[in-house]
Structure 1
Amino acid sequence: MNRQKGFSSIGMVMMLLILGSVLLHGLDQHLRAQTPLLINERDAIHAFNAAISAQAWGTTVNWQPGSKWQCQTMPASGWRACLKAGLKSDVLLAAQGVNDNQPITLWRWGKQGATITFSANGWIDSCPLSEATLCQLP
């Protein structure tokens, strides 16, 4: 009878080991499926942060606004900022970060006077110009 208890204990331990292995295998499969999504999200966040940084840098550049887009790139970081004068005294700043060679562009309105000033709440996520061709950066 004592010997039978030993076999049932070993059987229970084996069942727990098998169940644990099955659960770990399922978790591994789930994590492997989620890894590309995590990498894509990380890259998008990195590109968005680069675009925000490019936008902040673009507000400090000494621009001479014209009716066509003019762009400057910061070589050390690869940030790109472009400026275009609009109607009246409005100017539009576009700043780009890159995600797998797909640029993420942020836009910001400013006013042209003796110098260009950008309002604290003037930035937007999409091009505000009425025609898509006007949003094409060189």
Structure 2
Amino acid sequence: MAKPTGLPKTGGRKKGTPNKRTVGLQEALESHGLDVVGQLAALLPQLEVEQRASVLIDLMGFLFPKRKAIESTVVSAEEISLEGMNIEEISKLNRATRDRMPPMPPEERARLLAKLRQDLCDTEDE
């Protein structure tokens, strides 16, 4: 039976514990007297500037988390039609989009909200 959602994770490997392959590789390298990081650090000053920059950029992928591209669609107020929507649907749309609105100057945000309020009043009058 599946575990209900919202319960904390149980079992499994503890956070920060390396997997067996990683530990095995590290131990094998050390047993042969190979210090990969030390040797790489010793070789870096001997490289040309472009090569050194390339190596350091490649290594950054292992030191810092890679960011995922975020796909975003911007919809202007003119493209949103509240016609035919009831108050619950409009409230649901507002909650769904409130935190996703792109940053904008306060005047533009006020104009957009005023237009949405006017559209809402027009729909209720019908």
Q: Which has the higher strand share?
A: 1
Common fold: TM-score over 0.5: no
- Give me the TM-score of the superposition, normalised by structure 1: 0.20
- Give me the TM-score of the superposition, normalised by structure 2: 0.22
Structure with the greater relative contact order (CA < 8 A, sep ≥ 6): 1 or 2? 2
Q: Which has the higher helix share?
A: 2
